[in-house]
């Protein structure tokens, strides 16, 4: 192993590794762009095919889907990104089967809740929720399988899968529009059915079927990661929706519309951050195992790079001519313009946060990342509320940017402490003959290795899609 590690840090091997990582990042960004464009096209198709009330009902259903998706990622996808790299054979198959099975179980439970709520509420919202409930297992399984491919450094497989979903969705929705059958329920079913088709393809690509009966086993082996990840999901989304509520209540719906417009304008930065996150975590895990001494510099470089890139993309809408802005957003463009700079600063801080969060994920320091998330959530809520009270929508965006920028220091500090703890453990282990705590065992399906060593890795006081829109 030492010889392998040395070989990979010198000469052409290292350059090839860097080129491989860059290539995988490019494929991941392409996949994220396809996914984002597919969702955008779906919203446009629904908006143009149904009335305002039905479109609002679809918004309720899509928000419900996003909540279920975020929860599933915390339970299945994010642990996979941390634990799947390096697993092989039966251990790999078991981890994939249990994680995707857990996603199916979440889809069934959440789907039943949607169906029940839809039947009780009735109307357009009820129709959309019932249809969503039927489709949720396939939707969530497809997304989890995408993350399997990212964890295994196969982003092209994820891109192929999303392209199949997009093609099936376009074909189904196009047929509905051409035949005059584009009702709210039919459009929602076309979207979900296309995802189910892509999920079936994903099963074939992954060469492993979901095992819903393995859900409890998955939760048991990932019990050091899942609760903190779920806690982060709750805190992140709570901050987002609370901030939006405060902006709408204090500054008015027009200000809230301006906030949403500037989020759409800076969408490319969001795509970059989301794409970087799903690639960075497994790449950092592999670096942790092969060249652990380089992890600190790699994470710092990633944080700086994402910060600069997000800032540049966030400021790009300033180059948009007023005529183009008004054509896209109408009178909201005038309200959105002053928000571009503070939103860009917020995105820059999110870029830096994504880098250090990736490092914490790679070190399996879930409790440390949860602690940082809780503190930053409080800062963001305070910044958003105070900013709104002082300066309406612009004040809110400035408050969010300042709070999140202050939080970057906290994320960095937690990462540095977690990295120091790992180096100290490795040093102690190297001085202790016969110790097996230097790395997780490949045969452990949870990727945890020795249980005591795994707990040491996460003990302490302790996506990015919702976060980059308005959150932590």
Q: Where are the domains of the chain?
A: 20-222, 224-472
d(C-alpha 398, C-alpha 404), whole Å = 10
Q: Is the Cα dihedral 263, 269, 271, 276 positive or negative?
A: negative
Q: Which pLDDT band holds residue 17 (cuts at 50, 70, 90)? A: low
Distance between the two ends of the chain, CA-based, in angstroms? 39
Q: Which pLDDT score is estimated for 431?
A: 64
Q: Of 79-83, 230-234, 252-256, 396-400, where does mean pLDDT reach its minimum? A: 252-256
Q: Which pLDDT score is estimated for 455?
A: 36
What are the residues whose beta carbons fall under 8 Å from the beta carbon of 65, sequence distance 6 or more?
A: 132, 136, 139
Average pLDDT over residues 30-38: 82
Mean pLDDT over each residue of the chain, to the nearest integer: 83
pTM of the model: 0.79
Task: Determine contact, residues 404/468, Cβ cutoff 8 Å.
Answer: no
Higher pLDDT, 422 or 376: 376
Residue 445 has pLDDT above 80, yes or no: no
Q: Which pLDDT score is estimated for 21?
A: 65
Q: Which pLDDT score is estimated for 322?
A: 86
pLDDT tens digits, one per residue of 109-147? 999 999 999 999 989 989 999 999 999 999 999 999 999
Residue 441 has pLDDT above 60, yes or no: no
- Angle at alpha carbon of residue 243, lines to 366 and 325, rounded to 5°: 110
pLDDT tens digits, one per residue of 214-229? 999 999 999 999 999 9
User: 183: which DSSP letter?
Assistant: -
Rounded to a whole number of angstroms, the CA Rg of the chain reads 22
Residue 164 has pLDDT above 70, yes or no: yes
Query: Maximum distance among all alpha carbons in the chain?
Result: 74
The winner for highest mean pLDDT among 250-254, 259-263, 272-276, 285-289 is 285-289
d(C-alpha 9, C-alpha 3), whole Å = 10
């Amino acid at each position: 192993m030492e010889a392998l590690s040395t070989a990979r840090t010198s000469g052409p091997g290292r350059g090839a590794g860097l080129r491989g990582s860059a290539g995988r990042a490019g494929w991941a960004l392409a996949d994220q762009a396809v996914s984002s464009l597919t969702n955008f096209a779906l919203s446009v198709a629904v908006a143009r095919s149904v009335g305002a009330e039905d479109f609002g009902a679809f918004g309720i259903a899509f928000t419900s889907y996003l909540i279920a998706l975020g929860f599933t990622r915390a339970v299945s996808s994010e642990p996979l990104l941390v634990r799947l790299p390096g697993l092989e054979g039966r251990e790999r198959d078991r981890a994939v089967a249990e994680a995707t099975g857990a996603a199916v179980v979440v889809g069934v439970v959440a789907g039943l809740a949607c169906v029940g709520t839809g039947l009780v509420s009735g109307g357009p919202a009820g129709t959309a929720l019932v249809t969503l409930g039927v489709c949720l297992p396939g939707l969530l399984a497809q997304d989890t399988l995408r993350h399997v491919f990212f964890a295994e450094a196969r982003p092209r497989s994820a891109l192929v899968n999303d392209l199949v979903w997009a093609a099936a969705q376009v074909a189904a929705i196009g047929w509905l529009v051409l035949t005059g059958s584009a009702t709210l329920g039919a459009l929602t079913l076309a979207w979900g059915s296309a995802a189910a088709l892509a999920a079936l393809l994903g099963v074939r690509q992954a060469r492993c079927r979901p095992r819903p009966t393995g859900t409890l086993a998955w939760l048991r082996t990932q019990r050091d990661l899942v609760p903190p990840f779920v806690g982060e999901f709750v805190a992140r989304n709570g901050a987002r929706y609370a901030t939006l509520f405060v902006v709408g209540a204090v500054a008015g719906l027009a200000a809230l519309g301006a906030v949403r417009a500037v989020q759409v304008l800076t969408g490319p930065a969001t795509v970059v951050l989301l794409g970087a996150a799903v690639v960075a975590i497994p790449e950092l895990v592999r670096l942790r195992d092969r060249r652990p001494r380089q992890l600190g510099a790699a994470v710092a470089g990633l944080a700086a790079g994402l910060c600069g890139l997000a800032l540049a993309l966030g400021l790009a809408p300033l180059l948009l001519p007023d005529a183009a802005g008004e054509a896209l957003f109408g009178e909201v463009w005038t309200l959105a313009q002053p928000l571009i700079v503070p939103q860009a600063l917020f995105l820059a801080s999110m870029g830096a946060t994504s880098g250090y969060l990736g490092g914490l994920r790679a070190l399996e320091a879930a409790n440390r990342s949860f602690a940082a998330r809780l503190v930053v959530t409080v800062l963001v809520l305070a910044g958003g509320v105070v900013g709104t009270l002082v300066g309406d929508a612009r004040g809110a965006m400035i408050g969010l940017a300042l709070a999140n920028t202050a939080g970057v220091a906290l994320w960095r500090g937690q990462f540095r402490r977690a990295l120091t703890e790992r180096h100290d453990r490795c040093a102690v282990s190297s001085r202790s003959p016969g110790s097996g705590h230097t790395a997780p065992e490949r045969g452990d399906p949870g990727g945890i290795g020795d249980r005591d060593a795994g707990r040491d890795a996460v003990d302490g006081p302790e996506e990015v899609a919702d976060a980059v829109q308005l959150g932590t």
